[in-house]
Structure 1
């Protein structure tokens, strides 16, 4: 199963306690820097009142004041312990109100409510000579084959030019094969959930024909005539990633609804039922509606999120409008039944 919430799993490397901060990082006015500083001062005071230690506060001070502000509206999610920042992510939509908490477990419900899971993405711009590839980690490389043949066809037909055109097309094909081989490797190695391909239609088609099925299935295309990653590609990546996230979410919710309608015990709901399944490492997908989790159950729900991710389970945010019933805002699709249904 593709691990979609590995960023949560990384938080398990620390014993805590943890400071969790969700704040508005919007930077679209002349006084945005000063407003950002004031918002952080307010959240910092909440952490002090909650008992956060000086070392953790210092770690967060450096992270908040040392990072460049994004342009436009944005939110920022931070989790830190006394040694380092464990999570630092920007999200496109700022929170309605900032939150700051201190405790033995990160406030993962607040993080889930304000952010979205990452979609590891490979981006490639292709043309007849090869392609420029941006890997999941952001590194960029240019790839082409060792073919030394021509890449341009003759403008006019003439004796022998049919054979020349065939050689040109063979060069194009070999270049596409070289790019596809590298893309497939980066998709596998980066556990990518999305492949964005820019280029003109013939170049994209040649690459698609050479890709492994696993890469072709996650491919999204944009029109671009150059052989370098275009500046506007990030807008396309964000839109395509949103589509991937929503498809995953809807699939999980639908699967839970289907499992809940059966009697085989492969779906449970409520804090106690989900906790029992998590202790048995039986949870395949945990559904959480943070708005429906009782305030007194919040810390327990945070523990459940960590436990499920540690056992290679997935976590999906449910929404109030979904056609499912989640007692305590929690439900789970199980790998195997537990308790009386086992």
Structure 2
């Protein structure tokens, strides 16, 4: 999962205020509105020293409904100057929390990134298409603008009988194809210029086929056809949105599985993958990590209770003050919970983060790493490692 959008937080002025809130509408949750839930969090954050101006800005954002239906959450992160991250989560937190301190609580934001999907919705007919960029799982969801693309070829109607009518049918199909080519060209341009996860294509059956066939290779790789949409009246919007949600859920699972399969394969070979907190700390500070793998309960599990020692730079981290000094950090450094320190180091080397469900992969301490490279000094799953944890060694054949 790409986290480039979070990296600017590393250079922002502290302290940080992180709010992880259940924003489910009251008639769904049977509880108070999000604004009321925010009030108790605000009082706690005020006691911790969060700036009033920052809290006011967060309160104004929370007062605006997300537009989401059913249970969902929201994560907001502000630095000393104002809000920098605002994202919707498909699942609400078990308990709304607010954290004020020298570093942002990044895991809620990263969990939202795991759920977020940027999709281009293409609703096509014989004359053109409506293109809508949608951020599914982000706070901007529902605020996207739709742009119409018209093919410019108006001879799109067929007649049924006679020789002249057959010529009309040929002209009509030629117009459909040319209009579809215009739509496909615009979709291809969007794919080249924007970081898209999916292209969702729906509408008139024949037009969908023409657009699909005219798309370039890059757009086709992202393409998912969704039945039930259309440009005209009579579309069952609720049923169509349910199909979109199903397609997005399937994409999220596929995206996550691809990373975890790579991790499991590398782990099985005993190369380019490590697990356990000690070994992951080692490869993070060496800048070897391509993807940090965390158990889904990392936010509330053992990683939230373990502490690591960190220096000023994101790759300066260790499991003890002595190890921190050994890598050249003067003084005792700072002590942060392992979840914050690990994610901070991952961002510092532009690594991604992927969450794993129970049984998906073998994780010691709830954490692992898929590596960009390895050498003879890299911790290994097949031989004694630098952690000295004999219980986790594999049998060497």
TM-score, L = length of structure 1: 0.88
Q: Does 1:263 align with 2:270?
A: yes
The equivalences for 1:1-342 within 5 A come to 4-29=2-27, 34-66=32-64, 70-113=68-111, 116-136=114-134, 138-148=144-154, 150-155=155-160, 157-224=161-228, 226-227=230-231, 231-232=237-238, 233-264=240-271, 266-289=272-295, 290=298, 291-297=301-307, 299-322=337-360, 324-338=361-375, 340-341=377-378
Q: Which has the higher contact order (CA 8 A, sep 6+)?
A: 1
After superposition, what is the alpha-carbon deviation per residue over 1:61-90, rounded to whole angstroms, capped at 9, x for unaligned?
A: 332235566443221111112321111112
Q: Does structure 2 retain, via aligned residues, the 8 Å contact 1:288–1:330?
A: yes
TM-fit CA distance, 1:43: 1.4
Q: 1:139 to 1:37 in 2, by over 3 A?
A: closer
CA distance in 1, matches of 2:251, 2:119: 11
For the residue of structure 2 that corresponds to 1:153, the secondary structure is coil
What is the root-mean-square deviation of aligned Cα atoms in Å?
2.7
For 1:82-112, what per-residue CA distance to the aligned partner results, in whole angstroms no more than 9, with x for missing partners? Answer: 3211111122321111111122221122444
Q: TM-score scaled to structure 2, two decimals?
A: 0.76
The C-alpha deviation readout for 1:283-339, integer Å capped at 9, x for no partner, is: 1111112135251246333233233234332211112232x2223321111110156
* Cα distance change, pair 161–310 in 1 and its aligned pair in 2 (3 A): farther
| Distance apart, 1:10 and its partner CA | 4.1
- Unaligned residue ranges in structure 1 (runs of 5+): none
User: Higher helix share goes to which structure?
Assistant: 1
Separation of aligned partners in 1, 2:284 and 2:197: 26
Give the CA deviation at 1:29: 2.1
d(CA) in 1 for partners of 2:273, 2:187: 38
